[in-house]
Amino acid sequence: MDLNALPDLGLAWMEGSGEHSDIVLSTRVRLARNLQGHAFGPRARVNDREAVLVRMRRAVDQVELLNPALQVDLPEVGVRSRQVLLERRVVTRDLIGEDEGEAPVRGTAVVISGREPVNVLVNEEDHLRLQAFLPGLQLRNAWGLVDRLDEEMGGQLPYAFHPSFGFLTSCPTNVGTGLRASVLLHLPGLVLTKEISRVLHSLGQVGLTFRGLYGEGSEVVGNFFQISNQTTLGKTEDDLVDHLDHMVRQVIKHETQARQVLLRDARAVTEDKVWRAYGLLRYARTLSFDELMNLLSGVRLGMSLQLLPGLRVYTLNKLMIFTQPAHLEQAAGRDLTPVEQDAHRAAYVRQVLHGEAQAPSSSEERGSNAPFDGV
């Protein structure tokens, strides 16, 4: 499978629309489902997985939301394609296997809809993981989409369901609704005003959890945080989604206030910070991924505060995705050493931002994800 033929695969969320897109990058809602009569998780054998995959393939034909769809058998495609899918957050690390060299388990697959931003992971921790992935804050829409997908698939497949425990899962933390809703937020204001700990830790008291986005090391990068629900049983899906939505809006309010404080009380410092970030991105010759993410955070903040002109959210999102290792290697057509990656990354960023500076309102930019020859 040549992902170059499908440059925007799995990237609908990048277009930067959706509510509060200056703070919220994306919304994801996933449902965990298992089929009756087959083992899952630690007890799944090859024939269990293959049986599930066969049933899934048959069901896909009958499911409107998955027509058309791209079906990817993960052991069949190359390591780099799998890494690209991981970097686009279409698949999870659990699905493709821990180490890059390790081949994924037979029967693992992903079905990506060509109609709506939904996909299905097959034979991860549970037999099926249905997910909807939308730009900005769109919890209700994402839940509505994945619910529709679930209704359609449930009509074709024998789900494992229990009247008290609900939808049965491999891990008890997912049982019941099997629903995990999460929102990815950019919170530089709260980080800079040193309120981030207080705000995030209060979420634990209301059944929510958060984690930072990790870069290449073990450090959190880019001031990005993902907030999700922890409880999955004992409430309706609507209530779980509404609760997360309500709390995320509180966080957005705090972040907005923090950004206003920065503008009001530290304008010169903030302007300098964001312009320096922009300058480095425009002209640096090497950039590590972590440094890139931190600089992008500054630029994203600058854009939101209207201190920096003419950049689109889509462009910044693109810079987050296409600068990752497998994407760089795919564009270069060969493996790259870490040192080469840093150089190619910087060159790609220069090219994109230079193009943006020349013709910021050009809509052709959107289509040009062409392989970049490292300059």
Partner 1 sequence: MKGDMCEDCGTNEAVIRLTHVVNNEMTVVGLCESCAAERGVDSSSSQVASPLADFLAQMSGDAVQETPSAQRCSFCGLSYRDFKQVGRLGCPECWSAFQGPLESLVRRIHGSVQHLGKVYLPPDPSASEVEKRLEGLRHRLDRAVQAEDFERAAAIRDRIQELRPEVEEAR
Length of the chain: 375
Q: Which of 96, 179, 316, 347 binds partner 1 (CB under 8 A)?
A: 179
Q: Which of 34, 108, 138, 341 binds partner 1 (CB under 8 A)?
A: 34
* C-beta closer to partner 1: residue 39 or 79: 39
Q: Write down the least CB distance from residue 139 to partner 1, Å.
A: 13
> In whole angstroms, what is the distance from residue 326 CA to residue 3 CA?
11
Query: Of the ranges 21-29, 31-39, 278-286, 305-313, which one interacts with partner 1 (CB under 8 A)?
Result: 31-39
> In whole angstroms, what is the distance from residue 37 CA to residue 48 CA?
9
Q: What is the residue type of 171?
A: C
Residue 166 touches partner 1, criterion: CB under 8 A: yes
Nearest to 7 by CA among 372, 371, 323: 371
Q: Write down the least CB distance from residue 225 to partner 1, Å.
A: 23
Evaluate whether 305 touches 264 at the Cβ level (below 8 Å).
no
> In whole angstroms, what is the distance from residue 66 CA to residue 88 CA?
20
* C-beta closer to partner 1: residue 34 or 270: 34
Q: Which of 162, 198, 201, 211 binds partner 1 (CB under 8 A)?
A: 162
Cis? peptide before 68, omega within 30° of 0: yes
The residues in 286-305 that bind partner 1, with binding defined as CB under 8 A, are none
Q: Which of 1, 12, 39, 321 binds partner 1 (CB under 8 A)?
A: 39
* C-beta closer to partner 1: residue 52 or 295: 52
Beta carbons within 8 Å of 58's beta carbon, 6+ residues apart: 156
The residues in 96-155 that bind partner 1, with binding defined as CB under 8 A, are 125, 147, 150, 154-155
Q: Write down the least CB distance from residue 62 to partner 1, Å.
A: 11
Q: Write down the least CB distance from residue 157 to partner 1, Å.
A: 9
> In whole angstroms, what is the distance from residue 279 CA to residue 282 CA?
5
Evaluate whether 34 touches 159 at the Cβ level (below 8 Å).
yes
* C-beta closer to partner 1: residue 35 or 287: 35
Residue 54 touches partner 1, criterion: CB under 8 A: no
Q: Write down the least CB distance from residue 259 to partner 1, Å.
A: 30
Q: Six-digit token pair at 41?
A: 């998780």
Q: Six-digit token pair at 351?
A: 């090219």
Residue 26 touches partner 1, criterion: CB under 8 A: no
Positive or negative, the Cα torsion across 196, 202, 206, 207? Answer: positive
Tokens 């994945």 sit on residue: 146
**Residues forming the site for partner 1 (CB under 8 A):** 34, 36-44, 125, 147, 150, 154-156, 158-173, 175-177, 179, 231-239, 242
